[in-house]
């Protein structure tokens, strides 16, 4: 298995680099998410600043687009970023409304990764009297 990925790196300047990388990307789908993430990063780092690296990133981004729910690196990072953005939005609405936010409330909001709960809290941030009132509804699972 490692020889396949290393070969993709070695042949990154080849005229067949795009086809090689596409084959490697498809092969990665058959492994556990942790293995896929590891080898994805090995190949990406190994491609350094070659044009093939940009192509590799595009291939892996498409994998997330076409295979949601597989826990890929891009999917995880996308969802983390989305949760961080929701949390920032909630805090911004409260700030603009002049509602004080304790460190405990701020931490609770920024630690939450459940997008449905964050969405509910964002909706409520426009109408609550106190920041603590955000939590009178749904809570994150587990």
Q: What are the tens digits of pLDDT across the range 71-125? A: 666 667 778 888 999 999 999 999 999 999 999 999 999 999 898 999 999 999 9
Specify the pTM: 0.53
What residue spans define the domains of the chain?
2-68, 75-136
Per DSSP, the chain holds a count of helices (H) and strands (E) of 7, 0
- Per the CB < 8 A criterion, the answer to whether 63 and 25 are in contact is yes
Query: How buried is 16 (Cβ within 10 angstroms: 0-12 exposed, 13-18 middle, 19+ buried)?
Result: exposed
What pLDDT does 64 receive? 45
What pLDDT does 14 receive? 76
- Would you say the C-alpha torsion 127, 128, 134, 138 has a positive or negative sign? negative
pLDDT of 66 over the 50 cut = no
CB atoms within 10 A of CB 92: 12
Cβ neighbours of residue 72 closer than 8 Å, sequence gap 6 or more: 33, 36, 37, 40, 60, 63, 64
Alpha helix stretches (DSSP H) within 47-102 = 51-66, 73-96
Q: Over the chain, what is the mean pLDDT?
A: 82
């Amino acid at each position: 298995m490692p020889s396949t990925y290393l070969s993709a790196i070695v042949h990154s300047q080849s005229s067949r680099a795009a086809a090689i990388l596409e084959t490697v990307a498809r092969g990665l789908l058959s492994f556990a998410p942790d293995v896929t993430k590891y080898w994805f990063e090995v190949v990406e780092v190994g491609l350094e600043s070659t044009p093939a690296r940009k192509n590799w990133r595009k291939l892996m981004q498409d994998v997330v687009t076409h295979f949601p729910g597989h826990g890929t690196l891009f999917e995880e990072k996308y969802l983390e970023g989305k949760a961080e953005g929701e949390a920032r939005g909630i805090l911004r609405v409260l700030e603009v409304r002049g509602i004080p936010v304790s460190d405990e409330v701020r931490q609770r909001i920024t630690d939450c990764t459940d997008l449905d709960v964050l969405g509910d809290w964002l909706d409520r941030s426009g109408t609550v009297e106190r920041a603590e009132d955000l939590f009178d509804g749904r809570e994150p699972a587990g």
